[in-house]
Chains A and B, each alone.
Chain A
Amino acid sequence: MVVVDARGSYCPGPLMEMIKTIKQVEVGETIEVLSSDESSAKDIPEWVKKAGHELVEVKKEDDYWRIVVKKLK
């Protein structure tokens, strides 16, 4: 799993970091995005749906969100 720790970054930083990472990893690979920006929990799943990847998990941890995405194509 590739971890993108975007905590401390603000919209659209975490989404753009994830998009850059998904371009680089192989199909089937899983990416875990950590974001302290609440809007990521909405924006990232919305993008994942549009781009046709799999949203594995969105979980609120103490003071950040963990969003896990699997690259499908």
Chain B
Amino acid sequence: MKSIVIVGGGVAGTITANYLAMRLKDEIRSGDVKVTLISDREKQLYEPGLLYLIFNRFEEEDILRDVKYLLDPQVELKIVRATRIDAESSKIDLEDGSKVEYDYLVIATGSRVVPEDVPGLVESGHWFYNLEGARRLREGLAKFRKGKILVSVMGIPHKCPVAPIEVTFLLHDFYKIHGVRKNVEILYTYPINKVFTMNNVSELVEEMFRERNIGYKTFFNPLEVDAERRVVVTLEGEEEPFDLLIAIPPHKGSQVIIDSGLGDRDGWVPTDRYTLKAEGYDNIYVVGDATNLPVSKAGSVAHFEAEVVAENIAAEVKGLPPTARYFGKAMCFIETGFDQATYIWFDYETPPKPVKPNKFIHWMKIAYNRMYWLTARGIL
């Protein structure tokens, strides 16, 4: 019997598992194949929903679902933390002391924020890239009525590359609706010499920031946050004061990747950009945020990668040639306010061309926020 193990119960892991269960349903029923998903948490968080939660437009129950209800019943689910992957002997150590052996492994261990890597940030900053941070920021934004909000991207790569831009536009609308926008200064900062990594998007966003009287600074790489003086100190020698700091903290790969020696300096797994195999291993695939690929750490990327990985593993199991290739495909909605949005669609060779922000795309995004659970199930 062939054992296919997926480590990670986020977007990438659940979609891959469900696609595999669909493609290999006969083999699973006959006992020739077993698909196992290992997740360290019982519930999956729809992370794009955190952007709405901080403005109190979503509640936690809207963006959390039990992983067991998202998975095809043919997939065996183990809720336990994987502590070490032994890639040489194809075994995984679990926190409960047991081991799982695999013929094929799919690493879908994602990424995480490490605010503790920026001195002073935990004490004096906010973030919305996890549930705990988003809850705290929701309170902070509701109380804030006057002063300067600093939205600062503190490292690249990070999850959902456009979310810092979206939160900045939404802050503008939020305080406009509350009638206090004139009392609230908004400043956005980014580490490189433009407000986003892609030129077309940067140009559009910079123009829209100017129209909305949103300030921005580039080549801005925070070194530390001085909690007492409430300033961000940068590597470039600047000091930027704030009343409310919304950081996009630096990100790292999962601890199990670092502990298993499978990652680079920041814990990203070196991955072939077309086959999605972990470099140096023929039976290990990597999907979603866990890769070191120069693509967005975003749900759509995880979704498109999962299609390729599931197709190739299923082909190998059936003795067919594994010819699917990932070509860098990504799609991101960009909310430019509470009633308009644009989107970008791009791949390794094709840069994005954002369309003029409009209501229709915003409604599509709002609808997709509810439909996402069908994507996780492998239906949409």
Q: Interface residues, chain A, CB within 8 Å of chain B?
A: 9-13, 15-16, 19-20, 22-23, 43, 46-47, 50-52, 73
Residues of B225-239 whose CB lies within 8 A of A: 235-237
B221 CB-CB contact with A under 8 Å:
yes
Task: A16 to B223: give the CA distance in the assembly, Å.
Answer: 14
Whether A51 lies near B219 (C-beta < 8 A) is yes
**Chain B 206-248 against A: per-residue CB contact (8 Å), 1 yes, 0 no?**
0000000000000101010000000000011100000000000
Q: How far is the CB of A54 from chain B (nearest CB, A)?
A: 15
Given A10-B294, A51-B219, 6 other A-B residues pairs in contact with their CB atoms under 8 A: A9-B294, A12-B156, A12-B197, A16-B191, A47-B192, A50-B219
Please give, as numbers and ranges, the residues of chain A lying within 8 Å of B193 by CB-CB distance. 43, 46-47
Q: Smallest Cβ distance from A47 to chain B, in angstroms?
A: 6
Residues of A contacting B192 with CB < 8 Å?
11-12, 15-16, 43, 47
- Quick check: A16 and B156 within 8 Å, CB to CB? yes
Give the distance in Å from the alpha carbon of A29 to the alpha carbon of B155 in the complex.
23
Q: What total of A-B pairs shows CB separation below 8 Å?
A: 38
The SS class assigned to the B binding surface is loop
Whether A52 contacts B156 in the complex (CB less than 8 A), given A16-B191, A19-B221, A23-B223, comes out as no
Partner of A23, one of B219, B235, B294: B235
Q: Are B191 and A52 in contact (CB under 8 A)?
A: no
| Interface, chain B (partner A; CB < 8 A) | 155-157, 191-193, 197, 219, 221, 223, 235-237, 265, 294
A51 engages B223 (CB within 8 Å): no
A-B CB proximity, top 6 nearest: A10-B294, A12-B192, A51-B236, A50-B219, A16-B156, A12-B197
- Residues on B with beta carbons closer than 8 Å to the beta carbon of A47: 192-193, 219
Q: Is there an interface contact between B156 and A50, defined as CB atoms closer than 8 Å?
A: no
* Residues A19 and B235 in contact, CB atoms below 8 Å apart: yes
Q: How far is the CA of A22 from the CA of B236 in the complex (A)?
A: 11
Task: Provide 26 A-B residue pairs closer than 8 Å at the C-beta atoms, listed in order of the A residue.
Answer: A9-B294, A10-B294, A11-B192, A11-B197, A12-B191, A12-B192, A13-B294, A15-B192, A16-B155, A16-B156, A16-B157, A19-B191, A19-B235, A20-B265, A43-B192, A43-B193, A46-B193, A46-B219, A47-B192, A47-B193, A47-B219, A50-B219, A50-B236, A51-B219, A51-B235, A52-B237
* Cβ A22 vs Cβ B197 within 8 A: no
Residues from chain A with a CB closer than 8 A to the CB of B219 are 46-47, 50-51
* Complex Cα gap A10–B198 (Å): 11
> Once the chains are docked, how many angstroms separate the CA of A70 from the CA of B214?
35
Asked if A51 contacts B237 (CB within 8 A), the reply is yes
Complex CA–CA separation, A36 to B148 (angstroms): 40
Could you say which residues of chain A place their CB within 8 Å of the CB of B294? 9-10, 13
